Amino acid sequence: MTDGGWIPPKVWTWDTQSGGRFANINRPIAGPTHDKALPVGKHPLQLYSLGTPNGQKVTILLEELLELGHGGAEYDAWLIQIGKGDQFGSGFVEINPNSKIPALSDHSGPTPVPVFESGAILIYLAEKFGAFLPTAPAERARCLSWLMWQMGSAPFIGGGFGHFYAYAPEKLEYPINRYSMETKRLFDVANRRLAESRYLAGDDYTIADMAAYPWLRVLQSGEAYDNAAAFLSLNEYTHVARWVGEIDARPGARRGRMVNRTSGKPEEQLHERHDASDFALRTQDKLEPAGEQN
């Protein structure tokens, strides 16, 4: 940048004071920062996550599988508090060298199978249980195409628009304009598709919808980034709104949004999930005194 703006040095160096809100956890290297083994519960599937849109993708799928009667999809969901750096513990890094949630460990076989990246976990579980991923080549390709569309889109919405609009230490016109444009373009992509199709991949609800829904929903509802829905005029995307409403009504999706969630209404927060009864017995409104609820 010129005209009095910041001029990049010839060689970049890490300044721990310039990281903004996330300076305490951001760093330019990988690997663990401390030794910490991960807990293992009673179910074959062990999930280590946080109820962000990326984390919700997997818990929605797991709850949808249970809704279909797949008892083998029972799982323990352990809370990873990324603001405290839990993702840099040695046990977590062993499953996910990239230190991002969610991470899954499948203990149903003789040796645990680690899976990381939300899209990879969705595919792994859909194939394991034979649900929510078409098997016919054309339909499978369309589903995976929309899944990868979402995986490629999330950084523009979250790390791009969300960061510069809501989290950056100062408001900068250029990046906010740049990522606002891209976020609205992505909504338009989805809106045009959903104008001609009930779900992203066609007539059937699939992992492509489970991947895109938490991200588009949290913006469209106004819950994310200081009510960015008004700033971006997201009410314009009526087909996205129809699709969000339809998935909102699904019991599995409703439960999945609650798991590992630590913000919002206390009755919608289930910090950890170890049994189906936890939704009735262990949400935060039942665990915290009234004066301590969010």
CATH number at residue 215: 1.20.1050.10
* 220: in domain: yes
Residue 150 lies in a domain: yes
Q: Is residue 280 part of a domain?
A: no
Asked if residues 216 and 187 have their Cβ atoms less than 8 Å apart, the reply is yes
CA distance 102 to 115: 9
Which pTM does this prediction carry?
0.95
For residues 201 and 140, the answer to whether their CB atoms sit within 8 Å is no
15: pLDDT strictly greater than 70: yes
Q: What are phi and psi of 114, to 5 degrees?
A: -85, 140
In a domain, 111, yes or no: no
Please name which of 135, 132, 112 lies closest in space to residue 122, comparing C-alpha atoms. 132
**Within a domain: 78:** no
Could you report the per-residue pLDDT of 31-74, keeping only the tens digit for each?
Answer: 999 999 999 999 999 999 999 999 999 999 999 999 999 999 99
CA pair distance 252, 126, nearest whole angstrom: 15
What CA dihedral angle connects 227, 228, 232 and 233, to 10 degrees? -10
Asked if residue 225 belongs to a domain, the reply is yes
DSSP-based three-state secondary structure for 292? helix
Q: CA 49 → CA 64, 75, 80, 89, 185, distances in Å? A: 17, 12, 5, 13, 29
Q: Count of domains in the chain? A: 1
The residue range of the domain holding 165 is 137-256
Give the model's confidence band at 291: pLDDT under 50 very low, under 70 low, under 90 confident, else very high: very low
Q: What confidence tens digit (pLDDT) does each residue in 210-231 have?
A: 999 999 999 999 999 999 999 9
Q: Tell whether 91 is covered by a domain.
A: no
The rounded mean pLDDT for the chain is: 94
- Percent of the chain's residues with pLDDT above 90: 89
177 found inside a domain: yes
Q: What is the pLDDT of residue 38?
A: 98
Instruction: Examine the pLDDT at 294 and tell me if it is beyond 60.
Output: no
- Tell whether the model's pLDDT for residue 2 goes beyond 50: no
Instruction: Return d(Cα 189, Cα 202) in angstroms, integer.
Output: 15
